Amino acid sequence: MTNLCLTLAESTLPELERKLQAFQEKVPYIEVRLDYLDDPIIPRLPTGATRFIATCRPPREGGRFDGSEVDRIEILKDAARAGFHYIDVEYDVPELTGLPTGSQIIRSSHLFEYLPNDLDGWLASVRQRNGDIHKLAAAVSSTSHLVRLLNWMENLPPDLPRVVIGMGEFGQLSRYFGGYLGNLWTYVVESDVVAPGQFSLAAAQDIYGLDRLEGLPSLFPYLTSSGCQSVIPVLFNRLFQKQGLNALCVPIVVDDLAAWLEYQERSRLPYSGVSLGASLGRGARDHFSTSVLPRAESVDTLSLVDGKWEGFDYGTGALLSPLLKRVPSLEGAEIAVLGCGAEAVWVAGCLKQQGADVVVVGNDTSRLEELARQQGWRVAPGDECPTSDICVNATSIGEFRTGEESRLNLASARVAVFYDLVYNPKAAGLSSLAEASGAVVIPPGEMVFELVRRQFMGWVGYDPDGALLGELVQSGGG
């Protein structure tokens, strides 16, 4: 189980006290950012099991308190006298005296621009002053930085009271998994992000179940090359929770797949499987021995089989299965693929291998010319879908709400089957237009259903509850 610490950064005292009352007992720790108050008056604390942390951060450490240092320290001492259990002070503040018996000091250091080369030296500098807990937060701007931080965290003394955080989207994993690496808690927010890479209390509790998972759960990272939000981790966590599995799937942004995979193989954490986002999966073969990979162009899933990592291509089957339920064969079928990004190129390649006559449609003229030259594919610039047996949408051009105007012209196209791969249940307007034109529509949830089902089965050894997965896909993971 991971302890959650909710950060409250309110501008008015009444709102702060209202939220303290509302959230006490819902999390074990609450951090109060006194430097966010218009007037830094110490709030009244509710009674209960929740423990409270007082923080009044100066600008040099990313805070907002612009008064004197003497006044700032006195505010923190007042907070301790008012019942706050912990006082967060910076590593360069002189020794504190005059605190009530039982008050604990968190010594913190924030490096917003870089990750130190000498992590041990950084920790030593924070430990020079009196402190009961040591908090270290540094910017993590690449996978190599993240790997270095995680390796260091894994080797820290287990009895060292600490909270170590990698800030930014590349460092977010240190927040998800910090509790499994010795952190006393992980910081979450109510809604608005206070620090780079934070996530909400609702996500921590409802989606990831960080405060419910027991011991060290089986870990299933979802690797992506960008910070875009994917429903895949949400669906897996819902399945894990509903089927009673002590497992966790979290999104991880990586810019160096080889560095991540090397770390994962050495780590003491129980990594048990990996789902690769589309842009990563296409190149994953380059980072594994061919003896453990399928004879396929892409890899989207890694599973730990008898202690060894093996790669699998479940995406191609997930893509083709919904189509082959509607048409007997793709051999000779005229198929228009909308989009010319990585996903569209992969889709077009899969369909070409099935013998389809494919034309790629998009607005990026230079990219289309490149595909025509390198792949020998037929291409069509513009926003008009050509007449075809099947139209496959692999671009966000179809992501708008029903009733809104579309940039894509479907009115003049005669399409028998429309297959939407852009999964957004609340903005599937293009599918609605296709259905109105008389086409048989394959909703994007079908491919997502097939992919998650196959990956789940590959990881845990049995099919998930199909009805449950269908409901989760239909609702967007809700």
Where are the extended beta strands (E) located within 241-307? 247-248, 251-253, 273-276, 301-305
Contact (CB, 8 A) for 192 and 199: no
* φ, ψ for residue 445, nearest 5 deg: -60, -25
Mean pLDDT of the chain: 88
| Better pLDDT: 447 or 288 | 447
Mark whether 56 and 168 lie in a shared domain.
yes
Partner residues linked to 109 by β-bridges = 136
Q: What is the pLDDT of residue 395?
A: 80
Could you tell me if 60 and 168 lie in one domain?
yes
Phi/psi at 18 (5° precision): -65, -45
Cα 302 to Cα 29, 262, 289, 305, 312, distances in angstroms: 36, 13, 13, 9, 6
258 shares its domain with 349: no
Measured between alpha carbons, how far is 202 from 190 in angstroms, rounded to an integer? 8
Domain stop point among 164, 180, 212: 212
265 and 378 together in one domain: no
Identify each DSSP E strand in 50-172 by its residue range.
Answer: 51-55, 86-90, 104-111, 133-139, 162-167
Instruction: Examine the pLDDT at 108 and tell me if it is beyond 60.
Output: yes
Instruction: Judge whether residue 229 has pLDDT over 90.
Output: no
- Exposed/middle/buried for residue 104 (C-beta within 10 Å: 0-12, 13-18, 19+): middle
E strand spans, 34-182: 51-55, 86-90, 104-111, 133-139, 162-167
Contact 223, 275 (CB under 8 A): yes
> Are 186 and 2 within 8 A, CB to CB?
yes
> CATH no. for residue 425?
3.40.50.720
Kindly tell me the sign of the dihedral angle through the C-alpha atoms of 58, 62, 63, 64: positive
Please check whether residues 433 and 455 belong to one and the same domain. Answer: no
Range of 240's domain?
233-313+449-474
What's 50's domain CATH number? 3.20.20.70
My answer on whether 418 and 392 are in the same domain is: yes
Whether the per-residue pLDDT at 114 is higher than 70: the answer is yes
Question: Hey, what amino acid is at 305?
Answer: V
Give the residue with greater pLDDT, 172 vs 308. 172
Rounded Cα distance between 127 and 115, Å, is: 18
Query: Measuring CA to CA, which residue among 395, 139, 263, 184 is closest to residue 382?
Result: 395
Packed helices 342-353 and 365-375: angle between N→C axes, nearest 10 degrees: 30
For the chain, what is the domain count? 3
Read off the CATH number of the domain in which 248 is found.
Answer: 3.40.50.10860
Lowest mean pLDDT, pick from 185-194, 266-275, 461-470: 185-194
Q: pLDDT band at 358, cuts 50/70/90?
A: very high
Tokens linked to 322: 């919904």
Within a domain: 207: yes
State the DSSP code for 257.
H
Least confident of 152-166, 265-279, 346-360, 424-438: 424-438
* Rounded Cα gap, residues 438 and 411, in angstroms: 10
The predicted structure's pLDDT at residue 402 = 42
| Alpha-carbon gap, residue 435 to 439, rounded angstroms | 5
Q: Do residues 396 and 420 touch, judged by C-beta distance below 8 A? A: no
Assess if residue 95 is contained within a domain: yes
The per-residue pLDDT for 299 is: 85
Query: pLDDT of 411-462, one tens digit each?
Result: 556 788 999 887 765 555 677 777 777 888 898 789 999 999 999 999 999 9
Q: Would the pLDDT of 286 be above 50?
A: yes
- The tokens describing 128, both together, are 């020079």
Instruction: Please determine, for residue 256, whether its predicted confidence score (pLDDT) is greater than 70.
Output: yes
Same domain? For 94 and 111 the reply is: yes
Q: How confident is the model at residue 213 (pLDDT cuts 50, 70, 90)?
A: very high
In-domain check, residue 389: yes
Q: Is residue 307 one of the residues assigned to a domain?
A: yes
Domain assignment of residue 228, yes or no? no
The closest of 423, 339, 425 to 385, measured between CA atoms, is 339
Cβ neighbors of 168 (< 8 A, separation 6 or more) are: 139, 140, 141, 196, 197
Please give the average per-residue pLDDT across 95-122, as a whole number: 94
Specify the pLDDT at position 375: 87
Q: Are residues 355 and 438 in the same domain?
A: yes
Could you read off the pLDDT of 123-141 as tens digits, one per residue?
999 999 889 999 999 999 9
* For residue 230, pLDDT beyond 90: no
> Confidence class of residue 296 from pLDDT cuts 50, 70 and 90?
low
Query: Longest C-alpha distance within the chain, in Å?
Result: 83
CA triplet 417, 420, 425: central angle to 5 degrees? 130
Phi and psi angles of residue 442, each rounded to the nearest 5 degrees, phi first: -100, 110
Same domain, residue pair 462 and 353: no
| Whether 237 and 132 share a structural domain | no
How far CA 447 is from CA of 60, 64, 220, 442, in Å, comes to 49, 47, 20, 9
> Could you tell me if residue 30 is inside a domain?
yes
The residue type found at 440 is V
CB 184 within 8 Å of CB 163: yes
Say if residue 103 is in the same domain as residue 43.
yes
Query: Stretch 212-216: mean pLDDT, rounded?
Result: 91
pTM strictly above 0.85? yes
Q: Looking at the predicted structure, is the pLDDT value of residue 289 above 80?
A: no
The stretch 260-267 carries a mean pLDDT of 92
- Is 319 part of a structural domain of the chain? no
Q: How far is 216 from 218, CA to CA, in rounded Å?
A: 7
178 token code pair: 């910090």
- The encoded tokens of residue 381 equal 């610039």
User: Quick check: is 152 in a domain?
Assistant: yes
**136 and 34 belong to one structural domain:** yes
- The angle formed by the CA atoms of residues 194, 195 and 197, to the nearest 5 degrees, is 120
In the predicted model, is pLDDT for residue 236 greater than 90?
Answer: yes
Q: What is the pLDDT of residue 287?
A: 60
